[in-house]
Amino acid sequence: MKETQTPVAIPDVVKIAEDTAREAGAYLLHKLGTAKVKHRKSLRDDVLDADLQAEHLIVTRLRKELSHIGILSEEAGREGACEHYWIVDPLDGSTNFQHGSPLFGVAIALVTHQRTQLGIIYLPTSDEMFIAIHGQGAYLNKARITVSEVATLHQAIIHVGDFTKEGDLEIIKEGLENFSKVAKHTQRIRMIGTAATDLAYVACGRADALINYATASWDIEAGKLLLLEAGGKVSTIQRHNSKPVSIYSNKNIYHEVKELLETI
């Protein structure tokens, strides 16, 4: 692996981030199904004790190993350098996790000079480590991955992200309209409640596209790099007076999905 414009060699950074994600994943497996709500961020978004402890574990280790790299984390916010910084989602899919579902993940990305250089998504219950390095491809447990070759929308499995965590009825209505129209044109449609897992699945061909409403960097940055390095395409549609909708897709059905959403 080549070195890039980062404060340390990329192989060292990858090893630290991978080990950190595995450590957090081991903790989360121990807590699965027993997490307690610490406080509520919005109507449908609870912060769990497991969120906070996993974040503390990740941030503490990254700070210790690479103190000169800043951190932007979902619960703790930003600290340190802004030209080189980690983006951390310690528990993506916390509602699933709270209910004992195996569908959750840990996401860590490294941004340097406004470019995402590294993306890691770790799925603890299946022990799957997805890693992407800018310009060097995407990998699952060290094997190269690519997006699917599905050629038409009617053959595709499409994942859809949660519409809103705030309970906004207009956003829910619009999301259901999108969902209904897309469902009519696809083989299957899925909503699994974790953007990190959605993006990892599209990157390795388990799904063919994701329609996503999340905009926070900790929700999407690691998975976006994974998808792009696996040969996928990404774009965001901003309709008047509506929430942005992002498309993460293989290249073959990308335009079909985009055109369909633009007509809704």
pLDDT, average across residues 119-142:
97
* 55 plus 165 within the same structural domain: no
Q: Is 40 among the domain residues?
A: yes
Q: Is 86 among the domain residues?
A: yes
* 140 plus 161 within the same structural domain: no
Range of lowest pLDDT (42-56, 126-140, 167-181)? 167-181
* 20 plus 118 within the same structural domain: yes
29-79 tens-digit pLDDT: 999 989 888 766 654 567 888 999 999 999 999 999 988 899 998 776 777
* 127 plus 195 within the same structural domain: no
CA angle 248, 243, 105 (to 5 degrees): 45
Q: Would you say 119 and 10 are in contact if contact means Cβ atoms under 8 Å apart?
A: no
* 138 plus 167 within the same structural domain: no
* 117 plus 191 within the same structural domain: no
Sheet with 70-73, edge to edge strand ranges? 77-79, 70-73, 84-92, 105-112, 115-123, 128-133, 137-140, 143-144
* 22 plus 56 within the same structural domain: yes
Domain span at 20? 10-144
Last residue of a domain, one of 114, 144, 174: 144
Q: Is 240 among the domain residues?
A: yes
* 135 plus 230 within the same structural domain: no
* 103 plus 175 within the same structural domain: no
**pLDDT of amino acid 1:** 40
Q: What CATH number should be reported for the domain holding residue 74?
A: 3.30.540.10
* 97 plus 178 within the same structural domain: no
Q: Would you say 207 and 161 are in contact if contact means Cβ atoms under 8 Å apart?
A: no
* 91 plus 25 within the same structural domain: yes
**pLDDT of amino acid 234:** 96
Q: Say which amino acid occupies 217.
A: S
189-242 tens-digit pLDDT: 999 999 999 999 999 999 999 999 877 888 899 999 999 999 999 999 887 667
Q: Is 242 among the domain residues?
A: yes
Q: Would you say 50 and 97 are in contact if contact means Cβ atoms under 8 Å apart?
A: yes
Q: Is 50 among the domain residues?
A: yes
Q: What CATH number should be reported for the domain holding residue 178?
A: 3.40.190.80
* 25 plus 140 within the same structural domain: yes
Q: Tell me the pLDDT band of 3, cut-offs 50, 70 and 90.
A: very low
Last residue of a domain, one of 117, 144, 171: 144
In angstroms and rounded to an integer, the radius of gyration of the C-alpha atoms of the chain is: 18
Domains: count for the chain: 2
Give the list of residues 6+ apart from residue 149 with CB closer than 8 angstroms, or none.
205, 250, 252
* Percent of the chain with pLDDT strictly greater than 70: 89
